[in-house]
Amino acid sequence: MTKRRGAVSGRRKRRKLNKKGQRVVWLIVFSLTTLFAVGVYRFIRCSTEEIFQSFDHPQFSKKYLVRGVDVSHHNSYINWHQLREENITFVFLKSTEGSKHKDRDYQKNYKVAKDAGLKVGSYHFYTFGRDGKKQADHFIRNSILNPGDMIPAIDVEHSTINRTCSDKESYARMIKELRNLESALFKQYGKRPVIYTNKECYKMYIEDNFTDNPLWICDLHNEPGNVYKNWVIWQFSHKGKIAGVVDDIDLNYYRNSFDDFKKLLLP
Q: What is the pLDDT of residues 95-106, one digit of tens each?
A: 999 999 999 999
pLDDT of residue 7: 54
pLDDT of residue 52: 85
Ramachandran bin of 22, using left for φ above 0, alpha for ψ from -120 to 50, beta for the remaining angles: alpha
Which residues, including other chains, have CB under 8 Å from residue 97's CB and lie 6 or more apart?
Answer: 103, 124, 125, 127
pLDDT of residue 44: 40
pLDDT of residue 19: 62
pLDDT of residue 27: 66
pLDDT of residue 40: 41
In angstroms, rounded to a whole number, what is the distance separating the alpha carbons of residues 117 and 201? 33
Q: Which of 116, 119, 105, 118 is nearest to 71 (CA)?
A: 105
pLDDT of residue 184: 98
Tell me the DSSP string of 228-251.
STTEEEEEEEEEE--TTBSS-EEE
pLDDT of residue 240: 96
Measured from the Cβ of residue 42, the count of other Cβ atoms closer than 10 Å reads 10
pLDDT in tens, 167-193: 999 999 999 999 999 999 999 999 999
pLDDT of residue 176: 98
Q: Which of 136, 130, 140 is nearest to 181 (CA)?
A: 136
pTM of the model as a whole: 0.81
CATH number of 58-264: 3.20.20.80
In angstroms, rounded to a whole number, what is the distance separating the alpha carbons of residues 200 and 30? 37
Tell me the pairing of strands 249-254 and 119-125.
unpaired
Mean pLDDT by 10 residues, the chain (267 residues): 52 58 65 54 44 88 96 95 96 98 98 98 98 98 98 97 94 98 98 98 97 97 92 97 94 97 97
Query: Residue 11, SS3?
Result: helix
pLDDT of residue 38: 43
pLDDT of residue 162: 97
Per DSSP, 78 falls in state B
pLDDT of residue 31: 60
pLDDT of residue 229: 85
Identify the helix (H) or strand (E) that includes residue 216: strand 215-218
